[in-house]
Structure 1
Amino acid sequence: MNKDQVKGVGEQVKGKINEAVGKATDNPGKELKGDLQQGAGKVQQSYGDAKEDAKDARDEAKRNNP
């Protein structure tokens, strides 16, 4: 797991909290902020996943072609 994956998950959690607070307080702005944070977190996590996949592929290639 790399830092982008961790930050992405953290941002998604913050987004869920903001969304829930927005719903509970009938604050559409806070709810929207939560939705946007979740989206940004998913993008960052996906970026981290892609970096991990590339690293794994590179390591596999090194093992197979010493």
Structure 2
Amino acid sequence: MSNTIVLKVAMMCGGCSGAVERVLSKMEGVDAFDVNLETQKVTVKGSVTQEEVIEKIAKTGKAVEPWAD
């Protein structure tokens, strides 16, 4: 089953977004992801849960929360 998870991640620079991209690229079950530094929006597609993705990104030290529509 494939989920689409949209999160707001506090990223200030290319290094911040790079750290998020690194952890997502190593995460099992992630098929694709998009990290937008300008909008601080991270979209993840794959067989992972929102909780797993939030936990993984939080380990980089970034503030992360579900995207409010």
| TM norm structure 1 | 0.30
Q: Higher relative contact order at CA 8 Å, sep ≥6: structure 1 or structure 2?
A: 2
Judging by fraction of residues, say which structure has more helix. Answer: 1
Which structure would you say has the larger Rg?
A: 1
Judging by fraction of residues, say which structure has more strand. Answer: 2
| TM norm structure 2 | 0.29
